[in-house]
Structure 1
């Protein structure tokens, strides 16, 4: 049994990778999603809810840009140049995780008014809500693909599986 690099990243360097690459982005995204619902369904949203939504939307995109830059340099490029991907499902998991930067950065750019400065509040809210939904879709595709065992789907099989479930590619008995 093997795992995708997505799951390996989260499992390594505990608890730091889990916090930095999963907890922080998910807490920010879930905060945005929940406060977005309050904003969409209430006419008189408490100021703290609107401010929390704006702050989380502002921070999430810029934070995730840093994650994407770091993982591209330290994982994507080395895996690509060395042929280390564990099949298509591994590429999908990592690719969709990194694709989360598009909606998150979009929200940050909306919050800074770098995008949509001339839009009315309704249009900004529609675009913001669409970006929240888009992030949830790409994040869930990444999570589902990331939890798959690459050995179950065509395209990758470890050469040797250790007793603890880890693999040593290239090692045989």
Structure 2
């Protein structure tokens, strides 16, 4: 069966690529999502859970920036595209950096530093949702046989 570059990347160099490009970002994103619910719904502006949420957001943002920079410089320039599903899978995966690095910048006070706490919390939640959406779209198109499109 033909596979997209997204799936080929995860299948190559087992188990390292799967850990580096999927497991670590997904575990961090799920941790961030789980803590985000408590932080948002309880309006936690400080405290240990909020601090943990902040650290996870910063680590995930910079980790994914590293993945993005590696892939965009070392992998993407050498790709011979296998169809639209391939382009969509890789494109949506890479677009996750917008949301995750945005969270890191928000947590570090680089963006929205003068916004009220409630507005920052809303932006944080929206950035996380944005990442979850593009990551799932990448997974869906990444699992398709590229010859279907």
Task: Please report the TM-score for the alignment, with normalisation by the length of structure 2.
Answer: 0.95
Query: Is residue 78 of structure 1 aligned with residue 74 of structure 2?
Result: no
Aligned length: 149
Q: Is the 8 A contact 1:89 1:146 kept in 2?
A: yes
Deviations 1:8-55, CA, capped at 9 Å, x for gaps: 100111111011100111111111111110012225688332122101
Looking at structure 2, the residues matched to 38 and 67 of structure 1 have their Cα atoms a distance apart, in angstroms, of 28
Name stretches of at least 5 consecutive residues in structure 1 with no aligned partner.
155-173
- Structure 2 residues without counterparts, runs of 5 or longer: none
The aligned runs of 1:43-122 (5 Å cut-off) are 43=43, 47-79=47-79, 84-122=80-118
TM-score of the two chains, using structure 1 as the length reference:
0.82
Give the distance between the partners of 2:130 and 2:110, measured in 1 at CA.
20
Corresponding residue for residue 40 of structure 2 = 40
- Find the structure with the greater CA-based Rg: 1
CA contact (8 A) 1:104 1:135 kept: yes
Residues 61 and 106 in structure 1, CA contact (< 8 A), matched pair in contact too: yes
What stretches of structure 1 move > 3 A for 4+ residues in a row?
A: 43-46
Say if 1:55 and 1:44 are closer, same or farther in 2 by CA, change over 3 A: closer
Question: In 1, distance between residues paired with 2:81 and 2:39?
Answer: 42
CA contact (8 A) 2:82 2:146 kept: yes
Query: Which secondary structure state, in structure 1, belongs to the residue aligned with residue 61 of structure 2?
Result: helix
Instruction: Please list the CA deviations of residues 119-163 of structure 1 after superposition, one character each: whole Å capped at 9, or x if unmatched.
Output: 111000000000010000000000000000112x13xxxxxxxxx
Secondary structure in structure 1 of the residue aligned to 2:145? coil
Aligned to 1:29: 29
